[in-house]
Structure 1
């Protein structure tokens, strides 16, 4: 009987120890993967969009202050991508379509940022945007030509981009929402289209009601 109790106690102790390790290793059960932990940290820290210069599909150049006092719904991509990027932008188009027209361009703009500036010049971006119905104004596609500025933005927003040496990149994908003060407000699963649209509409409605 004593031996049995000892085994039971040992099993309970091991289980509790495992739970403690799991809890501490997953940010309190909220992060089950490294990506989830990364997103949770970004949302908590709310990094500021750094000072960068965009060149968009129309050949215009401007700083992030171009979108001052507006929410910015953002994706990161490269146009040569044949895997996740087209799906990412198609999903973004569906979010765009769900936002009430009264908010589009006035309270929120959509921005797709290329992390492959050497190939994604304005003419390439101009052609690419037509595949998804981006109008080049309320939904813009742009590159950041300055490599230091681009890397600073990727680092600040936790965007992982790894070249494979053959012209392609391994990268993570998400929807990013920046608030009118230039702070990263949320990072959303790009596969959850309706959830992202509902969240953005709720934010815009609350803003209007204040």
Structure 2
């Protein structure tokens, strides 16, 4: 009997310990994965887009101030990716098509940022954009950040994890990022939920337009 009580107590202690770890590790049950916890933290902290220098597919160089006064809908990609990046950009293309035309260019800009600047030069990005943007290099731009320190700072600020392997590929997380008119990150959206992402953007723009 004494051993049974001891075993029961030990079991309860282990369960309680596991419960506490789960509670802390899931950000008080609001996140069930590290990625979800990271997204929640980003949305809560709302980092400012840093002053980095882009070079786009048309060899133009500028900072995020190029889109001042607009929302910017962002993905992070590399063109040699044969898996998630293709789905990410195809889904972004669908979101692009769902945004009312009166908002495009005037209120919102689409931007894909490469984290592989050595291979993703302007010529490569120009070819890559044609796979997804119907040749549009204005309302949806593709760009790299040549300065490695600037690139790493941006990735860190926006919680983008990029891990190179020995074959020139990268393991990385993926999402849609929405930066507001003041350059503040306001939404991190599931790239697999196309309608939800588009509706979130449209709701924000409609509200501001008084629709």
| Paired residue secondary structure (1:113) | strand
Corresponding position: 1:169 with 2:189: no
Shift of 1:127: 0.8
Shift of 1:3: 9.9
CA distance in 2, matches of 1:120, 1:62: 17
Any stretches of 5+ residues in structure 1 without a counterpart? none
Shift of 1:19: 3.1
- RMSD over aligned CA atoms reads 2.0
Shift of 1:20: 3.3
CA distance in 2, matches of 1:65, 1:46: 18
Corresponding position: 1:149 with 2:150: yes
* 1:64-102 deviation line (CA, Å, top 9, x unaligned): 100001100000000011111111100000000000000
Any stretches of 5+ residues in structure 2 without a counterpart? none
CA distance in 2, matches of 1:14, 1:179: 46
Partner of 1:76 in structure 2? 76
CA distance in 1, matches of 2:142, 2:170: 19
Shift of 1:24: 1.9
| Paired residue secondary structure (1:141) | strand
Query: TM-score scaled by structure 1?
Result: 0.92
Structure 1's 186 and 7: CA in aligned 2 closer, same or farther, altered over 3 A? Answer: same
Partner of 2:121 in structure 1? 121
CA distance in 1, matches of 2:152, 2:44: 21
* 1:83-142 deviation line (CA, Å, top 9, x unaligned): 111111000000000000000110000000001111111111111101112511010000
Partner of 1:209 in structure 2? 210
Shift of 1:8: 7.6
* 1:152-201 deviation line (CA, Å, top 9, x unaligned): 10111011111112211111111001011111111111111111011110
CA distance in 2, matches of 1:22, 1:149: 35
Aligned length: 210
Alignment of 1:160-199 (within 5 A): 160-199=161-200
CA distance in 2, matches of 1:161, 1:8: 45
Partner of 1:91 in structure 2? 91
Shift of 1:148: 0.9
CA distance in 1, matches of 2:5, 2:195: 53
Shift of 1:14: 5.7
